């Protein structure tokens, strides 16, 4: 679809919806207030920390969505890749190489040790750098805050798309506990438990554990007895302790541990979904869900092995707050370690109509430390401010080995050792809000970030698994890079009335630059194997966002409406894929030129009766390249960005029915998305994912005054699947089919 076509389809609808929304807001302001129905019939306010201090969501001038822990459990959303379908303008996918977050068309495809994400994923405010360590099971979650748009001032680097912050429940002064178990199709079974114990008036402890199992969602027709991936085998635990240090200070410590032992063979060939790939024009075709989820590829060159994956993540975090009177001092620190090893069998298409089987062995170790010290003013004066310093360090070592590539002229082992790969970041930031009047506020913020990255490793052409200097070749991968950027935010917000706020912001985002495989000519890099510096290094990508928003509660607080209209100026977009460099395939990232992103998002809820709640979202998006040539010849100007559907609409309704002996609750949630695209620039391929509707159902029952409850859930009632990700070789990760589960919970 051309740029002109997208604009002609989007603009009238956007204007019409905007006009209706603004009209409704004005009517809500002028209409007589209905008699109060009581708090049970109102939209409950949510307190968030999107601007690093506690505030009501309806009074926070940021485009954001919030999902509470109870809503997550009720909908069966138990890991980050589940929540994107519930949010406007957001796609969160569990790709083969880790979590892929796309917000308003801004995404990233480089999950290697040298890549950086476009959206920051955080656990209790701590940035988790590696995408393959992010798709962890939710455990005793208070809420999830998803901020859309660049958040470079308060959250820093790699937030050009936005922020996903998973916030765990902290220990409280109340003794309580809970336990639950569920079973479903595909052999799924899950159990979790939590207990909170106040030890003394100033000390409270909280522990939570979970175990999650599911058989493979894929069918193996390769002629081997092996099981395939899209399975689950995860155990997680967290221990938290909160200490009151006198009357003015507190300390919260968290220790978490996750072990995932599943199968990384999560792919099927793209020919399960598309035909005409050999012509350069992949066209979707109809097929059964069973066929989509079947891997029938029989490699002509090797026999697949049993795939496996082991991920172990351990984190220790500390939060300290000290009320000094005029201001509060906050410290947030963390140390995290992530270990990952796997064996995966690839579908590796080397030319149209012909693919090889390739085995990859991988071992990786990742450690990161982060520290933030922040001072925030207290009180209700006309000026509120916060300022702080931030420091981050990550060190990685990994060994990736590919086999079975002899048919394309490579030796038996194609190996990438990297040790060490280091990343340092430090920042100084501050933000101030001035209340010019009781209803009008102005905000100004800035952040100075300095990044340093280095890598030492090689691309090895080996005859055996162990490198032999006498017979093997090692091509150095050595580079270092220092980049810096000042990001800023200017905003104003105005209370139209006590329950309606409008805001306007201009903000910037920054994603660090990086380097590809190879080295620049020098003493350790002979000229005949060197690559040009402009090929080795790619530049940071930057984004400037212009946004207008409205947040309103009306109809006696029985209805809510959040609206945001935005436009981005997006430069040096980083795009990644596999390309041939010096006769061998390498993963290459380059800057794409420029892109345009603009759209409209609506999110809200209505309680027509105290026992019922209707929720809705609408996202309209025009995200396309302004200038980009993948190969220097063909132009992709006007093509849509990846995972950027033109329109997405969701509608959900939850109702509680009072029975004599208890309460029955029923819910339905439906999502309708227009078509969207997955681009593979290195192959000049663009895959269109057709429009789709997906429906989820739930039915629950709780006896009167009983700690027990039971819940039946159906996800993806239509039982349709679609590609989640397609890589440069045609390896496709499919979405999940229909899932049915019965859950029992006990609380005390």
Task: With H, G, I as helix, E, B as strand and everything else as coil, classify residue 628.
Answer: coil
Per-residue pLDDT, 577? 72
Give the global pTM.
0.92
Distance in angstroms between the alpha carbons of the first and the last residue of the chain: 56
β-strand partners of 431: 386, 445
Which residues fall within 8 angstroms of residue 619, CB to CB, at 6 or more apart? 88, 89, 599, 600, 601, 602, 645, 647, 648, 649
Delimit the domains of the chain by residue range: 3-747
Per-residue pLDDT, 538? 87
Helix (H) or strand (E) holding 595: strand 594-606
CATH of 3-747, one of 2.40.170.20, 3.40.50.300, 3.30.460.10, 2.60.40.10: 2.40.170.20
Distance of CA 253 to the CA centre of its chain: 25
Per-residue pLDDT, 389? 98
**Dihedral class, residue 299 (left if φ above 0, else alpha if ψ from -120 to 50, else beta):** beta
Helix (H) or strand (E) holding 594: strand 594-606
CA distance 103 to 93: 11
CA distance 597 to 106: 9
CA distance 415 to 426: 33
Across 71-148, where does the E strand assignment appear? 90-95, 98-103, 119-123, 126-127, 141-148
Per-residue pLDDT, 580? 66
Q: Which two tokens stand for residue 145?
A: 């805050």
Q: DSSP for 163-223?
A: EEEEEEPPP-SS-EEEEEEEEESTT-EEEEEEEEEEEETTEEEEEEEEEEEE--SSEE-SS
Omega cis (within 30) before 420: yes
pLDDT < 50 stretches in the chain = 1-38
Per-residue pLDDT, 515? 87
Which residues fall within 8 angstroms of residue 431, CB to CB, at 6 or more apart? 51, 153, 154, 385, 386, 387, 443, 444, 445, 446, 489
CA distance 93 to 576: 17
Per-residue pLDDT, 31? 32
Q: Is 259 exposed, middle or buried (0-12, 13-18, 19+ CB in 10 A)?
A: middle
Q: Are 577 and 680 in contact (CB under 8 A)?
A: yes
Residue carrying the six token digits 């639950």? 180
């Amino acid at each position: 679809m051309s740029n002109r076509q997208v604009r002609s389809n989007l603009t009238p609808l956007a204007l019409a919806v905007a006009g209706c929304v603004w009209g409704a807001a004005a009517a809500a302001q002028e209409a007589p207030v209905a008699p109060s129905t009581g708090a049970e019939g109102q939209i409950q306010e949510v307190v968030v920390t999107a601007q690093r201090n506690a505030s009501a969501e309806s009074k926070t001038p940021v485009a954001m969505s919030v999902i509470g822990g109870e809503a997550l459990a009720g909908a069966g959303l138990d890991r980050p890749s589940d929540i994107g379908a519930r949010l406007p303008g957001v796609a969160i996918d569990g790709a083969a190489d880790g979590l892929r977050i796309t917000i308003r068309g801004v995404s990233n495809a480089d999950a290697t040790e040298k890549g950086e994400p476009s959206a920051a994923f955080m656990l209790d405010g701590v940035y988790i750098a590696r995408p393959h360590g992010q798709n962890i099971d939710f455990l005793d979650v208070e809420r999830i805050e998803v901020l859309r748009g660049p958040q470079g001032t308060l959250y820093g680097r790699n937030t050009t798309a936005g922020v996903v912050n998973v916030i765990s429940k902290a220990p409280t002064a109340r003794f309580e506990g809970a336990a639950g178990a569920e079973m479903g199709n595909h052999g799924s079974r899950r159990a979790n438990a939590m207990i909170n114990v106040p030890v003394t008036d100033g000390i409270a402890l909280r522990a939570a554990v979970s175990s999650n199992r599911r058989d493979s969602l894929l069918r193996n027709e390769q002629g081997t007895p092996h099981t395939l991936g899209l399975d689950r085998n995860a155990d997680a635990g967290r221990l938290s302790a909160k200490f009151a240090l006198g009357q003015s200070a507190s300390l919260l410590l968290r220790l978490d541990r996750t072990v995932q032992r599943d199968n990384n063979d999560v792919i099927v060939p793209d020919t399960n979904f598309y035909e005409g790939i050999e012509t350069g024009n992949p066209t979707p075709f109809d097929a059964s869900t069973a066929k989509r989820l079947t891997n029938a590829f029989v490699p002509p060159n090797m026999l697949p092995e049993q795939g496996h994956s082991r991920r172990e993540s351990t984190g220790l975090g500390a939060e300290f707050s000290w009320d000094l009177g005029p201001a509060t001092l906050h410290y947030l620190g963390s140390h995290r370690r992530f270990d990952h090893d796997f064996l995966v069998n690839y579908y590796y298409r080397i030319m149209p109509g012909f693919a090889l089987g390739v085995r990859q062995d991988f071992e990786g170790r990742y450690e990161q430390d982060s520290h933030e010290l922040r001072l925030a003013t207290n009180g209700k004066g006309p000026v509120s401010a916060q300022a702080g310093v931030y420091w981050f360090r990550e060190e990685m070592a990994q060994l990736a080995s590919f086999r079975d590539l002899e048919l394309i002229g490579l030796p038996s082992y194609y190996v990438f050792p990297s040790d060490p790969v280091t990343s340092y970041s430090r920042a100084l930031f501050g933000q101030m809000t001035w209340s010019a009047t009781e209803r009008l506020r102005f905000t100004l913020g800035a952040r100075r970030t300095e990044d340093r990255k280095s890598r030492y490793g090689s691309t090895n052409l080996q005859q055996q698994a162990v490198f032999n200097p006498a017979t093997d070749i090692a091509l150095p991968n050595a580079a270092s890079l220092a980049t810096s950027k000042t990001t800023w935010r200017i905003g104003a917000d105005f209370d139209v009335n006590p329950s309606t706020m409008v805001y306007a912001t201009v903000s910037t985002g920054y994603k660090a630059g990086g380097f590809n495989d190879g080295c620049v000519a020098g003493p350790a890099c002979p000229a005949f194997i060197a690559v040009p510096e402009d090929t080795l290094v790619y530049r940071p990508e930057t984004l400037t966002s212009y946004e207008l928003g409205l947040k309103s509660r009306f109809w006696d607080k029985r209805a809510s409406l959040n609206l945001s209209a935005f436009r981005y100026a997006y430069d040096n977009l980083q795009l990644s894929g596999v390309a041939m460099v010096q006769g061998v395939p390498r993963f290459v990232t380059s800057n794409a030129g420029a892109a345009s992103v603009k759209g409209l998002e609506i999110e809200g809820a209505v309680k027509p009766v105290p026992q019922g709640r209707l929720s809705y979202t609408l996202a309209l998006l025009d995200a396309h390249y302004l200038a980009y040539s993948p190969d220097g010849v063909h132009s992709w100007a006007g093509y849509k960005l990846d995972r950027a559907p033109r329109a997405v609409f969701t509608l959900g309704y939850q109702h509680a029915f009072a029975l004599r002996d208890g309460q029955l609750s029923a819910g339905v949630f439906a999502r309708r998305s227009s078509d969207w695209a997955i681009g593979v620039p290195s192959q000049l391929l663009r895959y269109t994912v057709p429009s789709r509707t997906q429906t989820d159902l739930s039915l629950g029952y709780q006896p009167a005054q009983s700690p027990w409850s039971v819940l039946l859930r159906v996800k993806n009632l239509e039982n349709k699947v679609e590609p989640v990700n397609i890589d440069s070789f045609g390896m496709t990760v499919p979405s999940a089919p229909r899932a049915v589960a019965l859950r029992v919970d006990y609380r005390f």
